Amino acid sequence: MNSSYYGYWEYWNLYHKVTFDGEDRLIYINPGVDNIDITRDLYSASKEWMSIMDYGKYEPPIRVIGGDPTVEGDSAGAIYFMTNGWRIYIDDKVDIFGSIYSDDYDSPYLTGEIANLVFSQVSNLVDRIAVESTADSAELVSNKVWSEVLADKFSEDAAGSLVSSYDDKLDNIKDDTSKLDSIKNDTEKLYFIEDEIKKLDSIKDDTSKLDKIKEKTEMLPDGIERGKPISNFSVVLIDSNDHISPKPGLSDITGKVSKDGKGFGLLTNTIYEVGEGIYKVDLTADEMDAEVLVLKFDASGADTRVISFITSS
């Protein structure tokens, strides 16, 4: 720190990293300070400095642009300018965080004879750049920063490339959506086909059941053949007392036959008891020679039993 700092001791009570010299319009970086944040240590500190004592009589040393909100919670980077003839005095190595330029000079920095390097580290709209702390190199800082800003952030080619990239992504999403729709349609078709197959399987099962029924019915006899004698034709005779129970032990059973609606005639053969109220008789070919046959059985102690059936040719 050189003698130009004398006379500003009341300002040290603010514990700032810099000291403001309103008469010479210089901002001195205090001894031992190796990093400066433009926003906090210069811009905010300058406002505090101007608010104490009579320092408000001096022109503001710094102005700012940017900081506007952009997208998704981000914001444009703040860029600061030394103005009204103010500059930053540097006589040792220090890291500068932020973007700062000068309205009045090629560089916002004024360096001592033994000054080392100054590192300008910035974010958002500009990249980190390291430059020598000389007036000429400071101009290079400005040119490089703006070149990076324009080339990387706002060039027409870059913007067009970005838009094209998003268009391609949107097209890919549309294609994928179309494919998904196609898959969905195919899946619905498969479900429909599956349902139809189940229906066919059900029909097949029903057909199999019908075939089994058909096999059984085909095995059944065609019927009682006309004119063909029947041996051991059986009949149950019911007790005439309760009209429910089979009546065994009957001996005077009379059997008759009516053919095609004609009068009854006696059966030729004798009727025999099988047992438990069941009796049998052999029917002759002549007795069976009719399309409609009616057999009638009578016995004392039993209900009259009438049986009719149709023969087949």
209-240 pLDDT per residue, tens: 888 887 776 665 567 899 999 999 999 999 99
pLDDT in tens, 139-170: 554 555 455 544 544 455 655 666 677 778 88
Q: By the 8 A CB rule, do 124 and 75 touch?
A: yes
Q: What is the predicted pLDDT for the residue at 226?
A: 93
- Domain positions in the chain: 3-154, 156-201, 224-312
The pLDDT score that the predictor gives to residue 2 is: 43
Quote the tokens at residue 305: 């039993």
- Predicted local distance difference test score (pLDDT) of residue 134: 41
pLDDT (0 to 100) of residue 111: 81
Instruction: Report the pLDDT value the prediction gives residue 119, as an integer from 0 to 100.
Output: 47
What are the distances in angstroms from CA 4 to CA 9, 43, 128, 163?
A: 12, 21, 32, 55
Nearest to 304 by CA among 254, 262, 260, 257: 254
pLDDT recorded at residue 86 = 96
Rounded CA separation 282/304 (Å): 19
Size of the chain, expressed as the number of residues it contains? 313
Q: Where are the alpha helices (DSSP H) in 89-134?
A: none
0.75 exceeded by pTM: no
Q: Residue 133's pLDDT is what?
A: 40
Q: Which of 230, 237, 232, 265 is nearest to 253 (CA)?
A: 237
At residue 42, the 3 state secondary structure works out as helix
As a whole number of angstroms, the distance between CA 121 and CA 37 comes to 9
Long-range CB pairs of 310-313, under 8 A, 24+ apart, other chains included: 310/223, 310/224, 311/223, 311/224, 311/225, 311/226, 311/227, 312/222, 312/223, 312/224, 312/225, 312/226, 313/225, 313/226
Task: Please state the φ and ψ torsions of residue 309, each to the nearest 5 degrees.
Answer: -160, 165
Gyration radius from the chain CA atoms:
61
Closest CA to 61 of 106, 118, 10, 23: 23
* pLDDT reported for residue 52: 84
The per-residue pLDDT for 77 is 75
For 235-260, the pLDDT digits (tens) are 999 999 999 999 999 989 999 999 99
Sequential pLDDT tens for the chain (313 residues): 444 444 455 555 567 889 999 999 999 999 889 899 999 999 999 999 998 878 889 999 999 987 777 766 666 778 899 999 999 998 878 888 888 999 999 989 988 654 444 445 444 444 344 334 444 444 554 555 455 544 544 455 655 666 677 778 888 888 888 888 888 888 888 889 988 898 888 888 888 888 888 777 666 556 789 999 999 999 999 999 999 999 999 989 999 999 999 999 999 999 999 999 999 999 999 999 999 999 999 999 999 999 998 998 7
pLDDT at 269: 96
Q: How many CB atoms lie within 10 A of CB 252?
A: 10
Which residue shows structure tokens 């089994």? 212
Q: CA nearest 67: which of 123, 13, 19? A: 123
Question: Would you call 59 exposed, middle or buried from its count of C-beta atoms within 10 A (0-12, 13-18, 19+)?
Answer: exposed
| Cα angle value 161/162/168 (rounded, 5°) | 85
pLDDT score at 159: 59
Task: Give the pLDDT confidence score for residue 139 in this predicted structure.
Answer: 53
CATH of domain 224-312: 2.60.40.10
Write out the two tokens for 114. 């033994």
Close Cβ partners of 170 (under 8 Å, ≥ 6 residues apart): none
Whole-angstrom Cα distance, residue 203 to residue 66?
78
Residue in 306, 284, 295, 282 with CA at minimum distance from that of residue 226: 284
Lookup: tokens for 46: 């300058």
Predicted pLDDT at 27? 93
